[in-house]
Amino acid sequence: MNPLSLRGSRDAAWATLWRFLAGIVAALLWLLPAQAGTLGRAGMEKNFPPPLVVGERDDRIPVWPILKQEAGSYEVIAYAFESIDFARIPGFGGTAPNLLIALAPDGTFRDAKVITHHEPVFLEGLGSEPLFAFVEQYVGLSARQPIRVGRPNARAAGAAPATTVDGISMATASTRVINETMLTASLAVAREKLGFGAVNSGLRVEAKPDFEPLTLAELERRGWLKRWRVTPAEVDAAFAGTGLSDPDPGPADEAFADLAIAYLNVPTIGRTILGEAAYARLMREIGPGGHAVMVVSSGRWSPLPEDFVLGSVPDRLTLQQGGLTVNARDAAWERRDLAPDLPAGPWTILKIGDAAGFDPSAPWSLSVKVTRERGQIFPEKVAREIATEYRLPPDLFTREVPDAGPSWIDSWRARGVELGIIAAALALLVPVLSRQEALVARPQAFSLFRLGFLAFTLGFIGWYAQAQLSIVTLVGAARAAFHTGDFGFLLYDPPSLLIWAFVLVTLVIWGRGTFCGWLCPFGALQEFAAWLARPLRIRQITVPPRLDRALRQVKYVGLAAILGAAILGSPLADSLSEIEPFKTSITLYFVRSLPFVLYALGLIVLNLFVYKGFCRYLCPLGASLAVAGRLRLLDWIPRRAECGSPCQLCKVRCRYGAIAPSGRIDYPECFQCMDCVTIIHDPTQCVPQVLAAKRGKRAVLQPVAAE
């Protein structure tokens, strides 16, 4: 059994950590925070040039009406707004993207553009053009329908074009954040301006199937069929103070309007009024989650003028609930099969879609709009609304709030197979690394296993699953901790999050080496590239110890600069993060602008001469893991009393320079290649064992304090 020793004290590690954190701020006082800006009128007019007209910004919410002249008057064709005002959802860089969205009155996207973003994969990676093209796909789609991000070319492969946008390879997490931003912001505006977008988001209220045979008079007596009589006096009172409140010229005892109002989904109401066959047809037409409200008019004024078009939105009738307008459209039914006792005037059945979030079990109101004119040469129209409340007993309905879960759930479901494969690989890695004596029993098998696992890391974890861990994640976390407070962006990349969780656990046990030596795709790429050194007869350069120690500090300076910029809110953090070649070589498969490709290839060439020079001297992610790894609980690499004095075999063989001349292990620089573990357990390689065997003795393993 391998000797494992608990560290006696972690005071030195804590002191190192605190000095490092203090240095982050002290080293970067010259950095200035980024200033965020939003579009004003000038920006809106630039995006919506003539003949369009930008109206006055709404006094309640930051929304600009976009007008167009039609038939001599200006009509609102869209409501324009910035997503950052309604949905601050951090992207994968930890900063929320900002989109310019123009939502038409019918809920369709008239325009969609990217104003700003900090998505790492698009910053000097794929370039912003694929993101711009992704967002443009929303134009023509409707915010009334759920829109999902499919795979690349999903719509060409048969996905519904009205509810699916094509995803972008290598940018799954970013596109899902953009999609949630687009829909969350749009529905927030739709609730305020268009009357849909969930007064009761996600709520499904359905009428119970129970039927009680009642007469029309009994429905009216219960208030389920509401008769609403609007008198001339009420209309005159509505126009008080406008100069148009003169008494109505009609007879005082005659109703200005006489309306009958009924919610038809309840079988007792709908079947009584329409008849069983017509009620069944109506329910089929409005579909699951839809609602139908009937309004029948008598009296000398009608809410349905003679030129009313079937299927349109009645201009004189408005449904409201919770202070918000509910979008209702005529169902285009002809008058037939109605109860004979209903008024004989104009009528409509208003259809309310499932997306409106309408709750028929709660009170709602119906208002009529009455218009009067003043002036003769240039008459001015003045409109006033008169409303009445309608309510039904809640026990006529069932209420259900579907638990669809948060939006990031889709990411986990879509990548379930990848997660399962990675989890199985991690579960296999743990016993291999923990059972050290088994490595010695079959060293060739272990060597093949290591090569195979590194190939899996590079090919599957890196290039296929796109789960290369990066300093970019820490930049996003720093921005979230100091600015947004929202760490939800981490949940949109499940494979990376799974590996992060595994790495954080193994940091406590083994330190930095588990990730850097086994789970880093770029590290695996460097190891495979290093094989070329032998057939090419390239001799490795031995860096002088003093220079080596100085170079190892460079990665900590880089880490401090990057995190300092992120904490201060500077976009410089994104630029400094490009010290990592991971995006170029792993995420983008070297398909990038020439300077980045040359940089990544240069590091691989450097690896032929200075083994893993980037990992040892430049990698900011490795630096962060090295700092956190100082808090590990165990010194798990076995040592002997002879290690370092006189035996230097492990030190000479360690290509990472993680073993001091004294034989002590420098765990923050250890990549867990297991070469020294193999040597110390192999009686044919370990010098103390070879000498002890010649003397007929046995060399004993014993703990040696780490560096």
DSSP string, 81-97: EEGGGT-----TTSS--
pLDDT tens figures, 280-316 = 989 988 888 889 999 998 878 888 887 777 777 788 8
Measured at the alpha carbon of residue 103, what is the angle toward residues 100 and 109, in degrees to the nearest 5? 85
* Element housing 240 (H / E): none
Asked if the bond preceding 661 is cis, omega within 30° of 0, the reply is: no
Calpha distance 503→461 (Å, rounded)? 14
The domain limits of the chain are 5-14+416-702, 41-193, 204-400
User: Which sign does the torsion angle of CA 555, 557, 559, 565 carry?
Assistant: negative
At residue 439, does pLDDT exceed 60? yes
pLDDT tens figures, 42-58 = 889 999 998 899 998 88
Contact (CB, 8 A) for 521 and 462? yes
Which residues, other chains included, contact 360 with Cβ-Cβ below 8 Å and sequence gap of 6+? 205, 207, 263, 265, 291, 392, 397
Q: What is the CA radius of gyration of the chain?
A: 35
The pLDDT assigned to 110 comes to 93
Structure tokens at 357: 């979030």
Calpha distance 596→538 (Å, rounded)? 25
**pTM for this predicted structure:** 0.58
The pLDDT assigned to 17 comes to 39
At residue 182, does pLDDT exceed 80? yes
At residue 30, does pLDDT exceed 60? no
The pLDDT assigned to 363 comes to 92
SS3 132: helix
The pLDDT assigned to 247 comes to 60
The pLDDT assigned to 40 comes to 85
**Percent above pLDDT 70 for the chain:** 85
Higher pLDDT among residues 203 and 185, named by residue: 185
Of 601, 577, 475, 453, give the one whose Cα is nearest residue 520. 453
Calpha distance 256→230 (Å, rounded)? 6
At residue 356, does pLDDT exceed 70? no
At residue 403, does pLDDT exceed 50? yes
Local confidence band at 36 (pLDDT 50, 70, 90 cut-offs): very low
Structure tokens at 621: 């992610």
Structure tokens at 48: 């919506």
Q: What is the DSSP letter of 108?
A: B
Calpha distance 200→222 (Å, rounded)? 26
The pLDDT assigned to 175 comes to 87
pLDDT tens figures, 462-506 = 998 889 999 989 988 898 888 777 787 788 888 999 999 999 999
Higher pLDDT among residues 18 and 667, named by residue: 667
* Element housing 554 (H / E): helix 554-567
Calpha distance 148→404 (Å, rounded)? 14
SS3 286: helix
Q: What is the DSSP letter of 247?
A: P
Of 632, 545, 672, 509, give the one whose Cα is nearest residue 17. 632
613 alpha-carbon distance from chain centroid: 36
> Of 180-189, 581-590, 670-679, 698-707, which gets the smallest average pLDDT?
698-707
User: Which sign does the torsion angle of CA 270, 272, 273, 279 carry?
Assistant: positive
First to last CA, the chain: 23
The pLDDT assigned to 87 comes to 83
Average pLDDT on 202-228 reads 89
Local confidence band at 423 (pLDDT 50, 70, 90 cut-offs): very high
The pLDDT assigned to 78 comes to 92
Structure tokens at 305: 């003028």
Higher pLDDT among residues 61 and 484, named by residue: 61
Local confidence band at 335 (pLDDT 50, 70, 90 cut-offs): low
Calpha distance 486→488 (Å, rounded)? 6
Contact (CB, 8 A) for 342 and 216? yes
At residue 450, does pLDDT exceed 50? yes
Local confidence band at 269 (pLDDT 50, 70, 90 cut-offs): very high
Say how many C-beta atoms besides its own lie within 10 A of residue 489's C-beta: 27
The pLDDT assigned to 343 comes to 72
Say how many C-beta atoms besides its own lie within 10 A of residue 364's C-beta: 21
Calpha distance 119→107 (Å, rounded)? 28
Structure tokens at 2: 């391998």
In b/e form, how buried is each residue of 126-158, taking b as 16+ CB within 10 angstroms? Answer: beeebbeebbebbeebbbbbebbbbeeebbeee
Structure tokens at 378: 């240039």
Q: What is the DSSP letter of 659?
A: B
Query: Phi and psi dihedrals of 693, rounded to 5?
Result: -65, -35
Calpha distance 548→542 (Å, rounded)? 9
Structure tokens at 244: 């148009």
Local confidence band at 707 (pLDDT 50, 70, 90 cut-offs): very low
Q: How many residues does the chain have?
A: 707
At residue 203, does pLDDT exceed 70? no
pLDDT tens figures, 626-664 = 999 888 887 888 888 888 888 989 988 898 888 988 888
Helix, strand, coil tally for the chain in percent (to 5):
40, 15, 40
| Range among 1-15, 468-482, 550-564 with highest mean pLDDT value | 550-564
The pLDDT assigned to 195 comes to 64
Measured at the alpha carbon of residue 260, what is the angle toward residues 325 and 229, in degrees to the nearest 5? 90
Phi-psi region of 44 (alpha: psi -120 to 50; beta: other; left: phi over 0): alpha
**Percent above pLDDT 90 for the chain:** 32
Calpha distance 342→97 (Å, rounded)? 55
DSSP string of 364-408, one letter each residue: EEEEEEEEEEE-SSS-EEEEEEEEEEE---GGGEEEE------TT
**Residue type at 313?**
V
Q: Where are the alpha helices (DSSP H) in 162-261?
A: 172-193, 216-222, 232-238
Of 503, 484, 521, 333, give the one whose Cα is nearest residue 426. 503
